[in-house]
Amino acid sequence: MRAPSRGESAGVEGGHIGTFERLSVRARPPGLPIMYQSWGELLFVHWPVLAQSIRPLIPEPLSVDTHEGVAWIGLTPFTMWGVRPVFAPSLPLLSESHELNVRTYVHLDGVPGVWFFSLDANNRVAVLGARLAFHLPYFGASMSYERRDRTIRFTSRRPDRRSAPAEFEAAWRVGDELGEARPGSLDFFLVERYCLYSAHRGRLCRARIFHRPWTLRSASLLSCRSTMLESQGLPAPGGEPLRVRVWPRIMVRETLPDQALLSVDAIIHRPLREPQVRRHNMKLLARGTLAGLVGTALMTAAMLPSKKASMSPGKVAPRQITENLLNRLRVRRHLSRPAFEASWVALHFGYGTVSGVDYALGQRALGRERPVLEGLVFGMALWAVGYCGWLPLAGLYPPPTRLPKREVGAELIATHLIYGVSTAAAHRAFVSESDR
């Protein structure tokens, strides 16, 4: 496929994005992240296209981003691990995935980013979570990844009924190190992207990403067979890709907290329903707080009677967790019984309130017509992260496989589902018409 001339793309650029804007977006965004991820073995394969040919596939007011008047579409297979919310550890089977995305590049209000036509992954939980939280066009796929010395083979087959079938099979050899892309170069334009856009019900969502600049290597394609572009209605490439690069290095988190935060490969920040939305939304925090209080109250009302049936007296889960924590801190013996009872109730409601705010932050980008479904997913996720994750790891509560009675584990799941649904329903009730 020939590269289009500058004049053919100039009409859809929507304003010039200079080197300063492309460098400034690399700065770490303010505030706390909501997710950590680690990426490795990325292959960047790109073809030039006429900007007019992809303009109908990208919603307004996004503009097609071009380099010297040329638009580009790309295929990027890679593997990921350590995927987790900021407040929880990564869980086996849930935190690893292979991925393949079809992309182009856009900009809005001086912020360049990535527009994904499709993202395929072999982790169905990740597919569901990304669809709900970020409104990205994720699809389930069967994938395989194999590396021998410097040769990598990657295959993907998409049987997902929500999209046309698509296949990808490629092998490539990792070449010499090229270093970091030079600002203003084509490599910099294609790979140094720190923002992604998506659309939902007529509104744009934007997520900021923070990672260290890519250290690129050259790559040679040994074979490549793909129907990924055609499945999305994109023009089929008419020849060999004009740009092939890899980022093969695997990052290792440092042990010091400050360094660990900066060495994580990707930090995904809160998506914005609109680019101009205010960064601090006190209404959203208030709704989350109130919804969390309601959910915790109903959860506690369901939990306390259940201890008479299955849990031993005084061993209701939040109470036991608090007791174990205070014993670890060596302050339990200094507390009177009323003070201890007040402390576990305060911690229980405090954790529930913070979780309600977490739900509100996630709900900021979600539709509000499915509080039952979203509440069930949220409640189950809280149970899994807590009682299968950080609580056993911290030694504050036994994992489900070591509970003395099976009914206890079932009750914990049931009460968390009650919390999730009631929190989601309360959050929806607190949303005013002007916020919908």
Q: What is the predicted pLDDT for the residue at 239?
A: 66
Q: What is the predicted pLDDT for the residue at 8?
A: 35
**Which stretches does DSSP call E strand in 137-254?**
138-140, 142-148, 151-158, 166-180, 195-200, 203-210, 215-226, 243-247
Q: What is the predicted pLDDT for the residue at 256?
A: 25
Alpha-helical segments (H) within 196-336? 228-231, 257-263, 282-309, 317-328
Q: Are 224 and 71 in contact (CB under 8 A)?
A: no
Q: Which of 305, 43, 45 is nearest to 151 (CA)?
A: 43
Q: 16 phi and psi, to 5 degrees?
A: -90, 135
Q: Where in the chain is the domain with CATH 2.40.400?
A: 6-268
Residue 10 in tokens: 């100039």
Task: Please identify which residue in the block is written with the tokens 């890679």.
Answer: 78
Tell me the CA distances in angstroms from 153 to 139, 146, 192, 223, one per residue in order.
21, 5, 24, 9
Q: How far is CA 71 from the centre of its chain?
A: 27
Q: Are 4 and 242 in contact (CB under 8 A)?
A: no
CATH node for 6-268? 2.40.400
DSSP annotation of 329 reads T
Q: Which of 390, 387, 389 is nearest to 416 (CA)?
A: 387
Q: Which of 367, 430, 403, 370 is nearest to 133 (CA)?
A: 367
- pTM exceeds 0.85, yes or no: no
Task: Classify 317 as helix, strand or coil.
Answer: helix
pLDDT tens for the chain, residues 1 to 436: 333 333 333 334 456 788 888 988 888 877 777 778 888 888 999 999 999 999 999 998 899 999 999 999 999 999 988 888 776 777 767 788 999 999 999 999 889 999 999 999 998 888 887 887 778 899 999 999 999 988 999 999 998 777 788 999 999 999 998 899 999 999 999 999 998 998 877 788 888 888 888 889 889 999 999 999 998 888 777 666 666 777 654 332 322 222 222 223 344 444 444 444 444 457 778 888 899 999 999 998 887 764 444 444 446 889 889 999 898 888 888 889 888 889 999 999 999 999 988 888 777 645 455 778 888 889 999 998 888 888 888 888 888 878 766 556 788 889 999 999 999 888 888 775 445 5
Q: What is the predicted pLDDT for the residue at 74?
A: 93
Task: Classify 306 as helix, strand or coil.
Answer: helix
Q: 343 phi and psi, to 5 degrees?
A: -70, -40
